[in-house]
Structure 1
């Protein structure tokens, strides 16, 4: 039996499992609310792990370990920023958003929530936010499809074009069939696989080198700066890495998990699970890259492919240290990370097109069955557009991921955060914050002042715009204030 045969079998079993989850979810999907928010009945465990898996894409097992392997522990600042940002998002936004979206006409999407929260009769908020979601998420989906294609291409030696369809097909299928419940249940399985792989792999690497002390000795001997948290970094670089955490407040696919929880009490329990999962996964991925330095320094004859591409460090360690069957399971975790994020993005785009454009402007009286099938059709449409963008792997799609994260974080982050914290916020303030945040990201990205990641000024200026414009205009009407206060009172109930 060749190395690729057991790996191929484990990949196929995994993909079949995801499709089976889609079929199970299909049987309990009865209306559009079920299809795009799971009927708001997710428990604490599924809410927590689904939120985590939808966030952590292939970069968790490829990008971050590769950066640590190349530059040492200084690259872990981004993990610190993400952990802080995720915790604050769970603490400040998650429970409140769950309550406020239900209080505001049972809003199913962010554009729907913005429209009802601020009584926007012009529907300008809905249109602008929907267009922002479609523009950025289509690029996000394309980057996920490229990552999946690269995994299939490098693992099984097939052409990029065939790998493109192979990597995308299963994700499209279970998202199309089962909707939000399929995505959330699959995310729970995928999150479990990810934490298993990221605890087991670094332990095996450390044992292979001879223990932690021996590993640290090899790493220091190779380059003492590998242990320096400030290696090659100035204040601007550290702030930029920490600033990634601001993006959490504005990511629609993550915020949807909060909206789908069965209550805000569930959100509180889910927060603990999610943050523990996240810390363990990030610690594991850092350890893979960090102790991978020691392993390949001790075994230079096996370092050829990692030397050519540092992002292969997890893949190479899995294939070297484990049996072909176990390596297949571990490598399917990369596919899990890619599929979990891609499925959430496809569904977010489908939900926005169906709820915020089709239903809002074309078919206000559409039946639930019609909306579900339009949602399914939109999954296919968005997927085909993303595949077309991903067809050329040299088109810099992957390079736009950080740009899209910043765009969402700056355009939606301040609006979401302040809308659930401050009753005086107005519709014009929300519009100003969204536009100023997005435009700041675009302009700052172009000029790259001080090397500062564009999400930081975008989030700051967007927040300032919201407050100033809201205070300069007329206060919200009494009914909006009362609805906000009622939602806040419900959130504070034990």
Structure 2
């Protein structure tokens, strides 16, 4: 298994490094580095959006949650796809029309405030540092189960390899590499599910599914019913849906696409890829519970499957797909957080007169620094992978959904309203998560994302109505005002 894995991995690494080196010679300006020269089409763009969102939280965390909780964890996917549709019709076209490079660029332009954009940049760095913790922790889990190596070693390898191709080619290299990674993920999952069905008893797939459901019902009837309450699942779906509609690491990908029509097509391509992946991940999690009902950690389900159930070539392909999922998300987050520091803070407030070459190098330095910080927290294992991903989704929804999605569709929103919305949503989500949710959620049924988004919306409307409207020239790119 290890020999085959390293052969498959070697071929994969050679291909992505070839793409990265080619992209390096195509990168001269910040537009090249952060937006691939606005050259990405709908198929590659859709695969990029899918690969960016399909992360360790999916291959390790979501499969683990299906292993733990059964079928009911499918509902967060429905919230996620609803968020994508909101993004397709109400967010993405206007963002692409603006032609910015980052989400803080949009915040600055929409509200006529560089300070609001800077605040957005800071919040992006904070929230996505949490997300990187989940990616690194998942890589450590895989390496420990499959190869018995220390999690820190695996994390350092992931950081080094991903940072390298991110540094070389920016968004151009990551887009074509993400396209490759999506194809690998889909292929591995489509092959893995029939193998698992055969392992649980052979015969027809329908008979294997029926036997599996009967076993899970005997093991714990919540696995084929409601492991979580409908109210909890609604909160999870809201968190994923609202966050994906305003997720900076996805929204910035729109800036690299050719035009507004390309963006909308790419979103539907991404949903198609995700439907295949979601169905496969649910099947894998539940079938692994049938075959291995007492794993020490739910996050070990997919790695155990690759090592002990699948044929060596398929197992190696799945492991590479899992690493690809981690690398694609780490790559996107590093690009977004690096731009938040270098483009939105350093380039606008510290060195506004910097040359394009200097700004590209500043992005590269920021990427290296921000790749290292989350390693310490990942080693602490502060929670399961899906739980960490869910928490960052709640924070993103709490401070970005309202100023981005509502702000793009309500012209009366002002800069002070946006700042109050971002700060209030972030603090409300943070305070409820740290001090009140565990005690009061069962009593009142209030989740931190609901409180955060609610506070953000109220503050946005109240403060905007109490402050002077934005001038027409600020609103014109978004609402057509003169």
Shift of 1:229: 6.2
Q: Could you tell me how far apart the structure 2 residues matched to 1:230 and 1:70 are?
A: 12
Which residue in 2 is equivalent to 1:114?
107
Equivalent pair of 1:219/1:293 in contact (CA under 8 Å): no
Equivalent pair of 2:416/2:464 in contact (CA under 8 Å): yes
Correspondence 1:249 to 2:245: yes
- 2:3 aligned to 2, 5, 8, which one? 5
The Cα offsets for residues 274-312 of structure 1, whole Å up to 9 and x where unpaired, read as 111111111111111223344x1xxxxxx38x6222322
Instruction: Provide the secondary structure at the position in 1 that maps to 2:255.
Output: helix
Which residue in 1 is equivalent to 2:178?
187
Q: Could you tell me how far apart the structure 2 residues matched to 1:206 and 1:129 are?
A: 47
Q: Could you tell me how far apart the structure 2 residues matched to 1:463 and 1:47 are?
A: 31
TM-score relative to the length of structure 2: 0.91
Q: Could you tell me how far apart the structure 2 residues matched to 1:437 and 1:41 are?
A: 35
- Taking the TM superposition and a 5 Å limit, the aligned residue runs for 1:135-154 are 135-154=126-145
Which residue in 2 is equivalent to 1:171?
162
Correspondence 1:261 to 2:252: no
Equivalent pair of 2:142/2:300 in contact (CA under 8 Å): no
Q: 1:218 to 1:477 in 2, by over 3 A?
A: closer
Which range is displaced more, 255-264 or 13-22?
A: 13-22
Which residue in 2 is equivalent to 1:458?
452
Q: Could you tell me how far apart the structure 1 residues matched to 2:61 and 2:418 are?
A: 34
Equivalent pair of 2:299/2:384 in contact (CA under 8 Å): no
TM-score relative to the length of structure 1: 0.89
Q: 1:242 to 1:96 in 2, by over 3 A?
A: same
Correspondence 1:313 to 2:306: no
Cα RMSD between the aligned structures? 2.2
Shift of 1:388: 4.2
Q: Could you tell me how far apart the structure 1 residues matched to 2:283 and 2:215 are?
A: 18
The Cα offsets for residues 34-62 of structure 1, whole Å up to 9 and x where unpaired, read as 10121222110121111111112112112
- Structure 2: any 5+ residue segments left out of the alignment? none
Which residue in 2 is equivalent to 1:368?
356
Q: 1:396 to 1:234 in 2, by over 3 A?
A: closer
Which residue in 1 is equivalent to 2:472?
478
Q: 1:160 to 1:318 in 2, by over 3 A?
A: closer
Q: Could you tell me how far apart the structure 1 residues matched to 2:478 and 2:216 are?
A: 58
- 1:157 aligned to 148, 155, 159, which one? 148
Shift of 1:363: 1.2
Q: Could you tell me how far apart the structure 2 residues matched to 1:394 and 1:71 are?
A: 21
Q: 1:226 to 1:174 in 2, by over 3 A?
A: farther
Correspondence 1:273 to 2:275: no
The Cα offsets for residues 135-177 of structure 1, whole Å up to 9 and x where unpaired, read as 2222322332222233223222222332222222211110111
Equivalent pair of 1:71/1:226 in contact (CA under 8 Å): no
Q: Could you tell me how far apart the structure 2 residues matched to 1:24 and 1:110 are?
A: 27
The Cα offsets for residues 296-349 of structure 1, whole Å up to 9 and x where unpaired, read as 1xxxxxx38x62223222223333443322211111111011001001111111
- Taking the TM superposition and a 5 Å limit, the aligned residue runs for 1:50-65 are 50-65=48-63
Q: Could you tell me how far apart the structure 1 residues matched to 2:136 and 2:252 are?
A: 21
Which range is displaced more, 173-182 or 111-120?
A: 111-120
Shift of 1:73: 0.8
- Taking the TM superposition and a 5 Å limit, the aligned residue runs for 1:95-110 are 95-99=93-97, 101-102=98-99, 107-110=100-103
Q: 1:403 to 1:309 in 2, by over 3 A?
A: closer
Shift of 1:226: 4.9
Equivalent pair of 1:206/1:212 in contact (CA under 8 Å): no
Q: Could you tell me how far apart the structure 1 residues matched to 2:298 and 2:373 are?
A: 30
Which residue in 1 is equivalent to 2:408?
420
Which range is displaced more, 253-262 or 75-84?
A: 75-84
Q: Could you tell me how far apart the structure 1 residues matched to 2:216 and 2:244 are?
A: 36
Equivalent pair of 1:109/1:256 in contact (CA under 8 Å): yes
Which residue in 1 is equivalent to 2:314?
326
- 2:81 aligned to 80, 83, 90, which one? 83
Which residue in 2 is equivalent to 1:204?
195
Shift of 1:132: 0.8
- 1:292 aligned to 283, 288, 292, which one? 288
- 1:356 aligned to 329, 344, 350, which one? 344
Equivalent pair of 2:189/2:280 in contact (CA under 8 Å): yes
Shift of 1:481: 3.2
Equivalent pair of 2:334/2:367 in contact (CA under 8 Å): yes
Q: Could you tell me how far apart the structure 2 residues matched to 1:15 and 1:111 are?
A: 33
Equivalent pair of 1:42/1:260 in contact (CA under 8 Å): yes
The Cα offsets for residues 156-214 of structure 1, whole Å up to 9 and x where unpaired, read as 22223322222222111101111111111111111111111222211222233332223
Which residue in 2 is equivalent to 1:299?
none
Correspondence 1:336 to 2:327: no
- Taking the TM superposition and a 5 Å limit, the aligned residue runs for 1:20-31 are 20-31=18-29
Q: Could you tell me how far apart the structure 2 residues matched to 1:486 and 1:292 are?
A: 54
Shift of 1:397: 9.2
- 1:393 aligned to 361, 380, 386, which one? 380
